[in-house]
Amino acid sequence: MTGTQTSSPFRGTPKPPLSAPPPLVFGGHSLFLDFDGTLVEFAPRPDAVEVEPALLALLAVLNEKLEERLAFLSGRPLADLNRFLGPVARHAGGLHGAERQGLAQGQASPVVGPDARAALDHLRARLSAEAGALLVEDKGLAIALHFRHDPGLRPRAEALAAGALAAARGALVLQPGHSVIEVRPAGTDKGEALRAFMAASPFAGTRPVFLGDDLTDEPALAAAAELGGFGILVGAPRPTAACFLLPDVAGARAWLAAGAERSRP
């Protein structure tokens, strides 16, 4: 897989204050959800997030009312999404779009080439000696360097990630996030993953709605609007491609719960 995209592709410009989204409509729509910071609150470590039974029940109702047009787009590997969410994550994109499940053959995950894999190995070798107190999350085709426990470690994470990019000859990109710096394969992102799902059954011919909080969500927030739907930013206002705003995880969950109580469509 090759590509030249940047890691923070804001396509939106600062807009007037964004308002709350209209109620969720099931007929003719598909719903795409980010995970961390949108559906679940941040936790000190990646493995410490909580997915309560009530959230799983809410997602199951939404999926049923959407006739399976519910998908998750996350920086997490698919294995994490499956572990946390179970069968409702049948349609999902992991690693910021680099792996996908639930699409027909021929529309599956993009191929990650040898340059990206070699650069990730190079970073692993450096990390064994230089990670220090960084929390390293090795996701196979992406590596996240976490510093939520010590913000002073950000420069170390940035320097290690920059070294990996220099070795990658364009095959990896930098992906900043909440208290984390990641390197991930170039040539794909959550926007491209959303488009792949929207080209396939059962999503094709509907309007996408995407909820996300982080920089990695911007390409999907933009793609949702470009495909006739809209994006909802979860969190504090910022320059964004989103059309609407919900203040936090609790607000996002309340909006989804209110939608689940509506009758179809």
Ligand X SMILES: O=P(O)(O)OC[C@H]1O[C@H](O[C@H]2O[C@H](CO)[C@@H](O)[C@H](O)[C@H]2O)[C@H](O)[C@@H](O)[C@@H]1O
Calpha distance 197→104 (Å, rounded): 10
Other C-beta atoms closer than 10 Å to the C-beta of 1 total: 16
Three-state secondary-structure class, residue 102: coil
CB of 22 to ligand X, least distance (A): 24
Q: Which is nearer to ligand X, 183 or 227 (CB)?
A: 183
The terminus-to-terminus CA distance of the chain in angstroms comes to 39
Three-state secondary-structure class, residue 217: helix
192 binds ligand X (CB under 6 A): no
Cis peptide leading into residue 202 (ω within 30°) = yes
Tell me the residue number closest to ligand X, measured at CB. 75
Write down the catalytic residue from 34, 36, 115, 217.
34
CB of 123 to ligand X, least distance (A): 15
36 is known as an active-site residue: no
Q: How many degrees, rounded to 5, is the angle at CA 69 between CA 20 and CA 191?
A: 65
Which residue among 2, 6, 27, 43 contacts ligand X (CB under 6 A)? 43
Site string for ligand X, 2-41 (x = CB under 6 A): --------------------------------xxxx----
Would you state the structure tokens that stand for residue 181, as one six-digit string?
């710096």
Three-state secondary-structure class, residue 53: helix
Site string for ligand X, 73-102 (x = CB under 6 A): -xxx--------------------------
Calpha distance 56→82 (Å, rounded): 12
Calpha distance 111→114 (Å, rounded): 10
Q: Which is nearer to ligand X, 26 or 246 (CB)?
A: 246
CB of 16 to ligand X, least distance (A): 26
179 binds ligand X (CB under 6 A): yes
178 binds ligand X (CB under 6 A): yes
- Site residues for ligand X, 226-265, by CB under 6 A, read none
Calpha distance 176→96 (Å, rounded): 12
Three-state secondary-structure class, residue 7: coil
Residues in contact with ligand X, total (CB under 6 A)?
A: 25
Other C-beta atoms closer than 10 Å to the C-beta of 235 total: 21
CB of 265 to ligand X, least distance (A): 28
- Site residues for ligand X, 128-157, by CB under 6 A, read 137, 139, 144, 146, 148
Task: List interacting residues with ligand X (CB under 6 A).
Answer: 34-37, 42-46, 49, 74-76, 137, 139, 144, 146, 148, 177-180, 182, 214, 216
User: Which residues are part of the catalytic machinery?
Assistant: 34
